[in-house]
């Protein structure tokens, strides 16, 4: 257990597609850098990892987003997109491996995962067994019950990042700023 006056080191493990798919389907925009800073709540962020896929051949629609994230200090770990299966390949396993290795090497005190994917429950338990805390941030309606249950703390992005506009509201989401 850390002394109360010791600085808490937070590392971000962001499953980009998991969150992006939700905001795209809702027609929303989200400032990822602001979201991460709000989730950290003033704690020291020692690394911000983003895990995603990229198109190997032809036009990559994620290229611009990836460039903006990189420009804002995010470390991108990208895996090739599988056009035959029309899905990401190896992204979740890379996030799992990176999160566990960095916990084992004592690189952080808190893993802040931005995902709702229940496949990450085992790595959360393994990281906690190493004495680390795990926080999960996602949109409430798209978060695995098991992932919420295993997390030391859960952040609902509807209330943490920006108010979510209703279909009839005049509220404008801020432009995406990575």
Tokens of 166: 């209703």
Q: Alpha-carbon Rg of the chain, whole angstroms?
A: 16
**pLDDT score at 3:** 46
The per-residue pLDDT for 47 is: 98
Whole-number pLDDT of residue 1: 46
How crowded is the C-beta side of 54, counted as CA atoms within 13 Å? 13
Does any domain span residue 50?
yes
The number of domains in the chain is 1
With a pLDDT cut of 70, the percent of the chain lying above it is 78
Q: Which domain holds residue 44?
A: 9-160
Q: Which backbone phi and psi does 86 adopt, to 5 degrees?
A: 55, 50
Residue 176 in domain? no
89: domain CATH number is 3.40.50.1010
Does residue 169 lie in a domain region?
Answer: no
User: Would you say residue 70 lies in a domain?
Assistant: yes
User: What is residue 18's predicted lDDT score, i.e. its pLDDT?
Assistant: 84
Mean per-residue pLDDT over the chain, rounded = 82
Is 167 part of any domain?
no
Residue with tokens 């950290």: 40
Give mean pLDDT, residues 107-132.
97
- For 120-165, the pLDDT digits (tens) are 999 999 999 999 999 999 988 889 999 999 999 999 988 864 544 4
User: How does pLDDT run across 28-57, given as a tens digit for each residue?
Assistant: 777 889 899 999 999 999 999 999 987 766
Q: What percent of the chain is modeled with pLDDT above 90?
A: 52
């Amino acid at each position: 257990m850390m002394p109360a006056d010791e600085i808490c080191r937070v590392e971000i493990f962001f499953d980009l597609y998991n969150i992006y798919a939700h905001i795209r389907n809702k027609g929303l925009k989200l400032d990822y850098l602001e979201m991460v800073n709000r989730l950290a709540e003033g704690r020291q962020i020692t690394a911000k990892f983003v895990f995603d896929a990229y198109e190997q051949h032809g036009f990559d629609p994620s290229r611009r987003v990836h460039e903006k994230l990189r420009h804002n200090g995010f470390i991108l770990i990208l895996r090739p997109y599988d056009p035959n299966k029309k899905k990401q390949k190896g992204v979740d396993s890379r996030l799992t491996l990176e999160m566990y290795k960095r916990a084992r090497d004592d690189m952080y005190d808190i893993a802040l995962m931005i995902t709702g994917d229940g496949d990450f429950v085992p790595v959360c338990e393994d990281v906690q067994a190493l004495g680390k805390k795990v926080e999960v941030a996602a949109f409430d309606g798209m978060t695995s019950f098991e992932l919420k249950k295993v997390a030391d703390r859960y952040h609902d992005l509807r209330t943490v990042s920006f108010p979510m506009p209703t279909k009839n509201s005049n509220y404008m989401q801020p432009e995406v700023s990575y």
